[in-house]
Amino acid sequence: MQNHFPLWKNILILIVLVLGLVYSLPNLFGEDPSVQISASDGTEISEVQLGKVEHSLDKAAIPIKALEIKGKQILVRFNNTSEQMRGADLLRSSLGNKYIVALNLAPATPQWLRDLGAAPMYLGLDLRGGVHFLLEVDMPAALKQADERYYNDIRLALRTAKIRYKSVSYDTGAIKVVLRNAVDKQAAIDLVDNDFRKLDLKTQDEDLVLLLSVSEAEVKAIKKFALAQNITTLRNRVNELGVSEPVIQQQGDNRIVVQLPGVQDTVQAKEILGTTATLEYRKVDTEHDVQNALSGRVPVGSRLYYERDTRAPVLLKRRVIITGDQIVDASSGIDQNGSSSVNITLNGIGAKKMGRFTKDNIGQPMAVVFIEQKTFTKMVAGKKIRRKEKVEEVISIATVRDAFSRRFQTTGLDSPQEARKLSLLLRAGALAAPVDIVEERTVGPSLGQDNIDKGVMSVIVGFVMVLLFMAAYYKVFGLVANLALTFNLVVIVAVLSLLQATLTLPGIAGIVLTVGMAVDANVLIFERIKEELANGNSPQTSIFSGYEKAFSTIFDANITTLLVALVLFGFGTGPIKGFAITLAIGILTSMFTAILGSRMMINWIYGGQRNKDLSI
């Protein structure tokens, strides 16, 4: 019989509708002002800590909406932002430095929906409020680090190969090697050709000098790696802050955009993102006189440093035992003397190096060098000038009493805050090159709410205007199209929620555009039905022909738009990607609702009946 769906198809459409309603519901409940508490050393939270938090808030008569353990964090929900602020201040003072207390916004989804795995969409920075940073990667510093690494590697390779040389020096991007004779020169050329193929080699027949520089291809690779490594490291650091759905993405060749929705403590976020602190462990040079080094006669293979507290000079070996990139875990703590410390865990390579050094140097002093890249801003002739400075300080000198390798403790830090910050940075990994925060923007929750209100209003106005036009122009068929359009909006929101997508203002624009495009499919179908009726066909035949013949036109039009959305997603940046995602989802759902959904309702109204005319 014409215009009847099989039972399975009707059931499928109804199941999609029910699931769409269930998984779109969490977006109606909003968010609770919350405080999240996590241990500064990254350890698990227990019921004991939960009880202490609850007792502190009860004692101060600060009402709470809910209290729960979520992963490694305690989440405290409040009724309003004033109680949230009071609770955060109280918890920071009562819990001390062992815990990180951060302000956030938590979804207010009922428990029964959470049990079904239903959760709201994440809101982007422009809707939820938060902070936006634009970071610039210091590419010259990355290239300089690579040059220094090649400089040290070449010296070591020449000594290992027993190739005699007069000197190896580094200056303005080139490594200069002066050999002793022609035989050594040829041996050095062969060594470079075999082991240092990423370096360009320049030589002259009449002298014994080799000039080595990083090739253009290697320069591009170093810059690409520095950017990718910094993005990974920044993402690890943001995860330590406990931010939901951060945006961390590349912009251009040397910049990174970081958006932290819901973050209200911008000072901590700024410190964690921009800091490049790390550690180096070096042997103390006890064979040479520090005073001679102060007068300018620094021994070959050693460097002059200064202790942090006393500013006393100390001579250290140039050869580094281990660096911060070989640290796989770090946590802050207190040593036996009550001072701040960091508990270090090394990877396999670092553990072997440290074990070999401590075994061979029992009774010898070892120093810990704290390295931080700082940026200073000063006014020169009315303009802000940014100046970078690498600070290297000896924070601890200790005598090796026994051999150790994988786990040990580093002391000499000024405060628990510094120990906690350093442990976080070491856990997240070192930046491949320093970064500068060149732009900082804060979006307040009130502005975000204003954007939400305007975005929702744009959807409602567009939606209502379409509903009125369709009902007035296409009568019963228009009402069916309106129901299908409503169904389409519900399914779009449900799909975005299931994907845990981040909704932004461009995303709302994509939904508004989809509203118009979704009803366009029904207009094509209804106009085709009217043509069939005008040609003298029966109502049942006209309905059947209208849906069947309009399908190819609808399919072609939507596929071309979908391809454009995919191109926008592939080549666009954050806001454009958000628009492309909602547009693509809207196209797919509108195909389903406008063709199958409306057809099912039309079948229920007109299917199997001998109608003389149609309300179209």
pLDDT reported for residue 274:
63
**Contact between residue 516 and residue 489 where contact means Cβ atoms under 8 Å apart:** no
Q: To which H or E segment does residue 68 belong?
A: strand 66-70
pLDDT reported for residue 574:
64
Q: Where does a domain end: 107, 132, 153? A: 107
Are 383 and 517 in the same domain?
no
Overall average pLDDT of the 384-393 stretch: 71
**Contact between residue 237 and residue 112 where contact means Cβ atoms under 8 Å apart:** no
Are 338 and 213 in the same domain?
no
Q: What is the pLDDT of residues 281-293, one digit of tens each?
A: 889 988 888 888 8
Which pair of tokens denotes residue 127?
A: 């809707």
pLDDT reported for residue 277:
65
Is position 265 within any domain?
A: no
- Distance, CA of 475 to CA of 424 (rounded, Å): 64
Structural domain of residue 498, as residue ranges? 7-26+444-606
- Distance, CA of 431 to CA of 419 (rounded, Å): 18
Are 451 and 375 in the same domain?
no
Is position 171 within any domain?
A: yes
Are 415 and 559 in the same domain?
no
The one-letter amino acid code at 326 reads: Q
CA 581 to mean position of chain CA atoms: 19
CATH code for the domain in which residue 145 is found: 3.30.1360
Q: Where does a domain end: 107, 130, 152? A: 107
pLDDT reported for residue 169:
83
Are 387 and 467 in the same domain?
no
Q: Is residue 385 pLDDT above 70, yes or no?
A: no
Which pair of tokens denotes residue 106?
A: 């938590």
Count up the domains in the chain and report the number: 4
Is position 268 within any domain?
A: no
Q: Kindly give the pairing relationship between strand 130-137 and strand 313-323.
A: unpaired
Are 462 and 536 in the same domain?
yes
- Determine which of 39-43, 77-81, 108-112, 367-371 has the lowest per-residue pLDDT on average: 39-43
Overall residue count recorded for the chain in this entry: 616
Between 445 and 224, residue with greater pLDDT: 224
Are 18 and 37 in the same domain?
no
Is position 231 within any domain?
A: no
Helices (H) and strands (E) in the chain, counts: 17, 22
- Distance, CA of 402 to CA of 357 (rounded, Å): 11
CATH code for the domain in which residue 313 is found: 3.30.1360.200
Q: Where does a domain end: 219, 243, 260? A: 219
Are 387 and 338 in the same domain?
yes
**In the structure, what pLDDT confidence band is assigned to residue 1 with cuts at 50, 70 and 90?**
very low
Are 53 and 195 in the same domain?
no
**In the structure, what pLDDT confidence band is assigned to residue 205 with cuts at 50, 70 and 90?**
low
Is position 239 within any domain?
A: no
Is position 612 within any domain?
A: no
pLDDT reported for residue 427:
65
Q: To which H or E segment does residue 193 belong?
A: helix 182-195
CA dist 303 → 290, 388, 536 (Å): 10, 21, 98
Closest by CA to 323, choosing from 292, 359, 347, is: 347
Are 333 and 386 in the same domain?
yes
- Determine which of 52-66, 371-385, 522-536 has the lowest per-residue pLDDT on average: 371-385
Are 413 and 476 in the same domain?
no
- Distance, CA of 548 to CA of 599 (rounded, Å): 11
CATH code for the domain in which residue 81 is found: 3.30.70.260
Are 498 and 541 in the same domain?
yes
CA dist 10 → 6, 13, 42, 609 (Å): 7, 5, 51, 19
Q: Kindly give the pairing relationship between strand 365-380 and strand 278-284.
A: antiparallel
**Contact between residue 396 and residue 412 where contact means Cβ atoms under 8 Å apart:** yes
Q: Is residue 349 pLDDT above 60, yes or no?
A: yes
**Contact between residue 443 and residue 131 where contact means Cβ atoms under 8 Å apart:** yes
pLDDT reported for residue 447:
57
pTM given for the model: 0.58
CA 195 to mean position of chain CA atoms: 36
Q: Is residue 582 pLDDT above 70, yes or no?
A: yes
Is position 271 within any domain?
A: no
Alpha helices (runs of H) in 316-444, residue ranges in sequence order: 348-360, 416-428
Is position 124 within any domain?
A: no
Q: What is the pLDDT of residues 304-323, one digit of tens each?
A: 898 877 788 889 988 888 87
